[in-house]
Structures are given as C-alpha cells and as structure tokens.
C-alpha cells in the first residue's frame, strides 16, 4: 500500500481511544481515522464529530469487518479484548491492542494460537514504554556492554489517583504490567518468579485495597527487579527505572538534577514539574508507537511487542495476583512456543 493512506478504526473511545483518535488525526503520517465504535453511542458520536469524514460503527465486530478499515486500534477495557482480537485475526487486520492483551493466560493463549493458526502475525500490544526515547536509549546502553552485565532494575510507578473501582488486582494487571514488560524488554529474558508484598496501605486507598504494592521479579538469567506501584500518591505521575550493571547505572524518568520534592496539593519539583498523568509523560512514546504501527502495517509487518509479549506479561500478572493473595513467591509457567502449532 505504498501510496495509500492507512485507514484506521478505533474500538472504545474513552480516555485512551479518544487520545489515539486525536494523535491519528493530527500527528501521525500516512494514516486516517475513518471509523469509531463505543457502546456509549453519545461518546462515539462526539469523538467522530471532531474530525472530518469519521463514521461510527454499530459495534466492535461491525467496525472490524468494515471494508473501509485497514487496521484496528483496540482501546476498550481488557475484559472484552479477547473476542475483539480474535475477530481482527480472523479478518487479517493489523491491530494495535492496548494492554493488557487479555485478562488471563488461558485467553491470551487462545489469541496467540489463533494468530499462529492463521500463519500471520497481526497483533501489536500497547506497551508504549518500548517506544519512549529514554527507555529505548537505556536498552541500547545496556546492550552495548558499557555497564557490564545488567544485574538489577528498580522501578517506581506512581499515579496521582484512581477511581475506587481500581482494586488491588488491577494494580497488578493494569499498572504493574508495564514494569513486567519493561523488565522483559530491558533484560531480553522472561520473568520466572514474582512476589507481590502488601505494605501498610495509604489512608487514601479504598477499604480492602492494597496500595501501594512492592514486588520483585526474578529473571531467567538470575537478575532481580524491584517495583513500587502506588496509584494514589496524591501528587502526580512518576515513572522511573534505574538499571544497575556491574560497572555503572542508568536512570530513565529523571528529567533534571537538583532538589527533588513531592507533596500533595502543590506541583512537585526536581528542577522540572511532575506530570499529572500518563498522557503527558508518555505523549511522545504514544506518538512513536502509533507511527511505528502504521508504518509496519503499511509494509505488511509487525513491530514492537507482539502477542507473545502480551501473553507472557499476562501470565506474569496472573502469577502476581496469586502472590498478592498469599504474600509468597509464585513461579511463572509459560507454554513453550513449540506447543502453539
Ligand atoms: N498504554 C497505556 O499507558 C494505557 C493507559 C490507560 C489505559 N490503557 C488501556 O486502554 C484501554 C482503555 O482504557 P481507558 O483508560 O481508555 O478506559 P475508559 O474506561 O476511559 O474507556 C474505555 C471505553 O471503551 C468502551 N467500551 C466498553 N465496552 C466496550 C466494547 N465491548 N466495545 C467497544 N468499546 C467498549 C467504554 O464505553 C469506554 O468509552 C484498557 O485496556 C486500558 O488498560 C492503556
């Protein structure tokens, strides 16, 4: 499709879907938004109405089947991803699916098996940190051998606030899943064991919700990853990753040096300000992610994290939810890729 514009349909136009609609319409080259669908029809109409020539589809399956749609962005809740992914695979349409791929490893396996059976990869998973210039550079530096072997990662992931419906398991499945992918990406290895601890909860956490959470991953090569995820810190969106090698370390997510303060009610400072949410911090990463998806799809290929990465991350999150309940380390059991066929 060298000369043709890539025509995109978006399923689910809440926060992420509307954000993707905006970037597709204003900042992404060689692509055009043509169709949106959302069970909240007023929301779908409102998003479609912002851009010239965008229609609404009656539902997700109609959008996927539409002849005018070359590729699909899935930005609906994770609980409905599986059926939508299976339909995209059936129609052979390139798909950028927001994380998590699906809700558990069994459903993720069904998606992977369906893609495998079709004999063609079409799924990219929305782990946008892989496209963030800092994380990309970090990966390059670690790979260059300049710091010797990578021994540890220390991740921090904080949000200002979340609705009360964001329960303890979602902190693992929807938030920690980004650190799960970062660890797999930076080490280039799988996670073989996860432990999720429950420190004293913040008084801002709803009754029964474990927030913050501290977790550990053991990588297949023996490296260790520590994670703090705190989704109601009352301050803002802070995402940092420090990789420690044998002869040096590298940090992503630290904009400037200087005195570092955070406090609720006032903008935190470290020589710069703390973004209020993920869209501000990772705006460039989302742009690069979507452009890479469009470019690869037009060329008939898939880049970045694929269905295997989505499956592996889901399996680790599933083990993490088990560990959250018991406080004990849980081994991660991944199928061997040969069993897919
Ligand atoms: N990559 C990231 O950094 C990031 C950040 C936030 C959310 N997400 C992911 O994006 C997805 C959407 O999250 P959100 O924050 O935009 O949620 P949201 O609740 O703001 O939006 C979801 C939208 O999907 C619609 N919807 C519900 N069921 C649907 C269905 N069956 N078909 C089509 N649409 C349906 C809802 O009406 C809503 O408009 C989730 O998978 C979430 O985990 C990713």
Among 10, 13, 14, 88, say which to mutate for ligand 1: greatest number of ligand atoms within 8 Å of CB.
Answer: 14
Among 9, 12, 309, say which to mutate for ligand 1: greatest number of ligand atoms within 8 Å of CB.
Answer: 12
Nearest alpha carbon to residue 16 among 43, 34, 41: 43
Distance 12 CA to ligand 1 centre (A): 6
This prediction has a pTM of: 0.94
Listed as ranges, residues in the chain with pLDDT below 70 are 1-3, 255-273, 341
Atom of ligand 1 nearest to the CA of 78: 41
In this prediction, residue 186 carries a pLDDT of 98
> Exposed, middle or buried by CB within 10 Å (0-12, 13-18, 19+), for 40?
exposed
Q: Between the CA of residue 123 and those of 107, 182, 296, what are the distances in Å?
A: 15, 18, 11
Distance 218 CA to ligand 1 centre (A): 30
What does the block give as tokens for 162? 């979340």
In this prediction, residue 2 carries a pLDDT of 46
Question: Domains (ranges, CATH) in the chain?
Answer: 6-128+285-305 (3.40.50.720), 130-281+317-326 (3.30.360.10)
In this prediction, residue 265 carries a pLDDT of 59
Alpha helices in the chain (DSSP H): 15-26, 41-49, 60-65, 81-90, 105-118, 133-144, 168-170, 177-187, 278-281, 283-298, 307-326
Among 47, 58, 75, 127, say which to mutate for ligand 1: greatest number of ligand atoms within 8 Å of CB.
Answer: 75
Query: Which protein residue's CA is at the shortest distance from atom 19 of ligand 1?
Result: 14
């Amino acid at each position: 499709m060298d000369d043709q514009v890539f025509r995109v349909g978006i399923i689910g136009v809440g926060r992420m879907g509307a954000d993707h609609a905006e970037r597709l319409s204003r900042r992404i080259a060689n692509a055009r938004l043509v169709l949106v669908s959302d069970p909240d029809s007023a929301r779908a109409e409102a998003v479609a109405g912002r851009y010239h020539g965008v229609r609404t589809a009656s539902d997700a399956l109609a959008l996927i089947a539409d002849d005018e749609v070359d590729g699909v962005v899935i930005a609906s809740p994770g609980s409905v991803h599986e059926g939508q992914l299976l339909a995209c695979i059936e129609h052979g349409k390139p798909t950028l699916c927001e994380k998590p791929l699906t809700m558990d490893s069994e459903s993720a396996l069904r998606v992977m098996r369906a893609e495998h059976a079709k004999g063609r990869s079409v799924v990219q998973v929305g782990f946008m940190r892989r496209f963030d210039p800092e994380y990309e550079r970090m990966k390059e530096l670690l790979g260059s051998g300049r710091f010797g072997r990578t021994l540890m990662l220390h991740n921090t992931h904080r949000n200002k606030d979340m609705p009360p419906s964001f329960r303890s398991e979602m902190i693992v499945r929807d938030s920690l899943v980004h650190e799960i992918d970062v660890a797999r990406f930076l080490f280039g290895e799988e996670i073989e064991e996860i432990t999720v601890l429950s420190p004293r909860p913040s008084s801002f956490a709803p009754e029964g919700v474990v927030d913050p959470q501290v977790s550990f991953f053991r990588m297949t090569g023996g490296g260790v990853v520590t994670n703090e995820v705190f989704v109601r810190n009352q301050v803002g969106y802070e995402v940092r990753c420090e990789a420690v090698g044998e002869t040096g370390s590298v940090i992503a997510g630290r904009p400037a040096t200087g005195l570092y303060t955070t406090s609720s009610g006032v903008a935190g400072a470290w020589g710069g300000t703390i973004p209020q949410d993920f869209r501000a911090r990772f705006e460039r990463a989302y742009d690069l992610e979507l452009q890479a998806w469009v470019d690869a799809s037009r060329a008939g290929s898939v880049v970045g994290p694929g269905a295997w990465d989505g499956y592996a991350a889901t399996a680790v999150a599933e083990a993490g939810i088990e560990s959250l309940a018991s406080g004990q380390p849980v081994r991660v059991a991944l199928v061997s890729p040969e069993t897919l066929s």
